[in-house]
């Protein structure tokens, strides 16, 4: 272990008591989040940098805490505007004002005060790849904002790869009648920690479809909050490969209209000492009767020898069929990720 690792509890200082208290909320029950504060990591300083890397191919950004690499193609794309909060001339803006102790991952606002912003203002004929990484012995924190203009349809692929501890807040802002098809791959290593929070604002008539390919590791908390506006439609599909480890999903639905729809279908593959949970909360107005929230699981130890592959494919087939991209350019990376993920033990 390196000598310069920082005790998280000491680093958080005055924020530690309220974060420690929030970790015992019902939604975080049995996630082991409270044990995180006694661990030690290298933590990036607030010095941020964004590098345009000509060696990267396709529309891709690699986000390692405060350090962001953006491909030349993404940076130069005429319909994508990339900025960061350090360029914001508004001296009254305070990133820490967005911190909310009820949501653990918003600790990112305290540590990473530079926010990278991607605004999509026109058609994009390739998927956009956002890769989040944490290196060995590190606790990296990132804040990302993706805004999609009115009537625009976008495909985004998230790749989450942690070798130690990774904490991300991503805000997806869908303007009226816009559409986001989001795909997520967890590629964590066994001892890794990942805390990922998506704050989704689906404005009037917006469409949000998220297909999650989750892989368990030492601890994963994948938390989502969707603000469902009038006639917005959202769908959450997930395949969780426990990998014999931990993966926790949280979904918080905050309607701003009586007319909206949401469909959830998460399917877990359990084996070994897996601990997989799903915690839903719907405030105020319930979704229409046509909306469904379904979470199910399959335990591999209960399947007869030699039948696992057949039973898994049958169990997951309709979600696997849905997990495609409408684009035809720049999709090889996505399908390679999908093929690797679907190799179960």
Using alpha carbons, list the distances in angstroms from residue 159 to 126, 133, 185, 187, 332.
16, 8, 5, 7, 14
Whether 166 contacts 131, CB under 8 Å: no
Domain membership flag for residue 16? no
Q: Which two tokens stand for residue 162?
A: 């942690």
Domain membership flag for residue 13? no
Average predicted confidence (pLDDT) for the chain: 93
Domain membership flag for residue 8? no
Residue 136 per-residue DSSP state: T
Shortest CA distance to 33 belongs to which of 210, 295, 304, 248? 248
What local confidence, expressed as pLDDT, does residue 46 receive? Answer: 67
Give residue 86's pLDDT band: very low, low, confident or very high (50, 70, 90): low
Its pTM stands at 0.95
Q: How many domains does the chain have?
A: 1
Domain membership flag for residue 201? yes
Average pLDDT of the segment spanning 76-90: 83
Domain membership flag for residue 21? no
Residue 158 per-residue DSSP state: E
Domain membership flag for residue 33? no
Where does residue 308 rank: exposed (0-12), middle (13-18), buried (19+ CB within 10 A)?
middle
What local confidence, expressed as pLDDT, does residue 91 receive? Answer: 54
Domain membership flag for residue 270? yes
- For the stretch 254-287, pLDDT in tens is 999 989 999 999 999 999 999 999 999 988 767 6
Domain membership flag for residue 160? yes
Rounded to whole angstroms, the Cα distance separating 327 from 331 reads 7
Listed in sequence order, the residues at least 6 apart from 81 whose beta carbon sits closer than 8 Å to its beta carbon are 117, 118, 119, 121
Q: Which two tokens stand for residue 304?
A: 């007869």
pLDDT at 152 over 70: yes
Residue found by looking up tokens 């439609």 in the block = 233
- For the stretch 182-196, pLDDT in tens is 999 999 998 999 999
How do the residues of the chain divide into helix, strand and coil, expressed in percent and rounded to 5? 20, 45, 35
Average pLDDT of the segment spanning 216-232: 96
Please give the residue range of the domain that contains residue 245: 45-341
Question: How open is the CA angle 187-189-193, to the nearest 5 degrees?
Answer: 95
- For the stretch 294-336, pLDDT in tens is 999 999 999 998 898 999 999 999 999 999 999 999 999 999 9
> 3-state DSSP call for residue 244?
coil
Average pLDDT of the segment spanning 123-140: 97
């Amino acid at each position: 272990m390196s000598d310069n690792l920082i005790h998280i509890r000491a680093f958080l200082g005055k924020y530690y008591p309220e974060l420690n208290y929030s970790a015992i909320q019902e939604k975080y029950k049995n996630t082991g989040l409270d044990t995180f504060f006694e661990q030690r990591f290298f933590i990036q300083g607030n010095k941020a940098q964004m590098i345009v890397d000509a060696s990267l191919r396709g529309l891709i950004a690699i986000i390692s805490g405060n350090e962001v690499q953006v491909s030349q193609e993404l940076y130069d794309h005429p319909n994508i505007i990339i900025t960061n909060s350090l360029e914001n001339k508004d001296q009254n803006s305070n990133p820490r004002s967005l911190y909310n102790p009820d949501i653990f991952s918003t600790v990112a606002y305290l540590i990473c005060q530079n926010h990278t912003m991607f605004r999509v203002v026109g058609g994009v004929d390739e998927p956009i790849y956002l890769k989040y990484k944490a290196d060995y012995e590190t606790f990296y924190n990132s804040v990302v904002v993706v805004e999609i203009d009115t009537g625009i349809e976008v495909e985004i692929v998230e790749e989450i790869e942690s070798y130690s501890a990774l904490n991300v807040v991503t805000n997806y802002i869908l303007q009226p009648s816009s559409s986001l098809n989001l795909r997520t791959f967890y590629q964590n290593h066994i001892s890794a920690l990942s805390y990922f929070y998506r704050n989704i604002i689906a404005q009037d008539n917006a469409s949000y479809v998220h297909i999650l390919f989750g892989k368990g590791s030492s601890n994963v908390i994948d938390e989502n909050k969707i603000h469902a506006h009038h006639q917005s439609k959202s769908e959450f599909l997930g395949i969780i490969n426990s990998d014999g480890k931990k993966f926790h999903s949280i979904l918080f639905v905050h309607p701003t209209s009586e007319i909206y729809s949401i469909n959830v279908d998460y399917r877990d593959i359990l084996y070994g000492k897996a601990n997989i949970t799903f915690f839903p909360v719907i405030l105020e107005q319930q979704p229409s009767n046509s909306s469904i929230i379904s979470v199910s699981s399959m335990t591999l130890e209960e399947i007869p020898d030699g039948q696992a592959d057949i039973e898994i494919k049958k169990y997951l087939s309709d979600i696997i069929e849905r997990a495609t991209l409408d684009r035809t350019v720049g999709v090889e990376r996505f399908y390679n990720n999908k093929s690797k993920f679907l190799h179960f033990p």
